[in-house]
Structure 1
């Protein structure tokens, strides 16, 4: 992302101290000062990280197929005096955004990096085993049995797996402990502070759910700043997320969800959800 796309890595939280867990996002140099257009990319859930769409495609195909690199390179292109169209090609989906004389500013979210894992100390392990509402006698008997089981298991593990994993605990990143929190945090500290008149989102799979949650939490701001949203196999659900009527109406006008389908590209696909239009991505392969 830094070498190929010339993006900069920005640490989160913005006011993080040295000792606390941290995450990051990628941004183009002009992301916050581009007066015209800003493109925000959000990938799905699982093992993918900032700048990736699908690891399976990265491994089996190439970087152009499984990463956001082609999107970013095309978005930050500087045009001359003639307009050009920016084609989103994930899942063979094309969404045209008209450009003027500058490229897009770009922000790449990193919604799956929510915590770090650290090895538990002996005191923490002991504390977790001591916390119980059971009577002392019953707990002592259970502890004795567990110690015997652990002794036998450790003896076995010593030969089966010499590199046995240590017992760990998760420490969540402040204000970024979930994809939804991450999207809202990046909106509050970066996207909403940008100079761009038009903000565009491309959100894949769970990224679509995170965007809808952002709309629920920041409805007026999103409506004022976001021009269009391209969803790809989004897993959002307006009923489960309790999306109000005004948001559903906005989504019908400003969002489109390209879904896995064997129908020709852009063929309308029926949906029982009263939100944005759903059309065929022209492929039955779903990226996860």
Structure 2
């Protein structure tokens, strides 16, 4: 077997760190930590799994500390207040962030990440035009119509929000799809679309919500088709709450001359 050299022993630490931070897959971080005792210490001491996790999902930078369930055997030689205690803490963070990063990457792609409608900022006729109707794929259910309608406004700039619960407290969101509603039962079949849309993600805090991510504003087509809005980067929603803000009203209703949004 040919002799090989460990570049960690010969390069400046900053240069070694620059090389190692080129790893962009959490599995590679774990493999690197398995190369040798020297590499294990380098990966853990420099928190490479944590740094990669933060690069992948900046929303995790708000995490204050991590807690690991008691699934790893505790080293009886570790004494409180010793340097070993700090090493054990770094190892715990390495395990948690490597697992979290890998788990987030391996989420199966699914189109039904929304599991429950929480609330709409306004509803014209509840329950007939409830936000729950937005979870139906079809515009008609049985003999009935299926859509949500806002209350009418004389000012077209008044926004509306739709808030939903996702399938899990941790979800990676890459794309959101929305379909404006075409009122086929009204003269001319008007489409009650918003001019633009933006998205917020976060968690609930009592009766309020805390938003850890807000997207850019996306223009909407004034068409009744399923429109896809791809986020610039995958977003880790911590807390499982998604809010859709619909901005700018386009269509008035003939019966009262007010602006509405229907989805």
Query: Which band: TM-score by shorter chain?
Result: under 0.3
**Greater share of residues in helix:** 1
Which protein is bigger by CA-based radius of gyration? 2
Higher relative contact order (CA 8 A, sep 6+): 1
TM-score w.r.t. the length of structure 2 is 0.21
Q: Which has the larger strand fraction?
A: 2
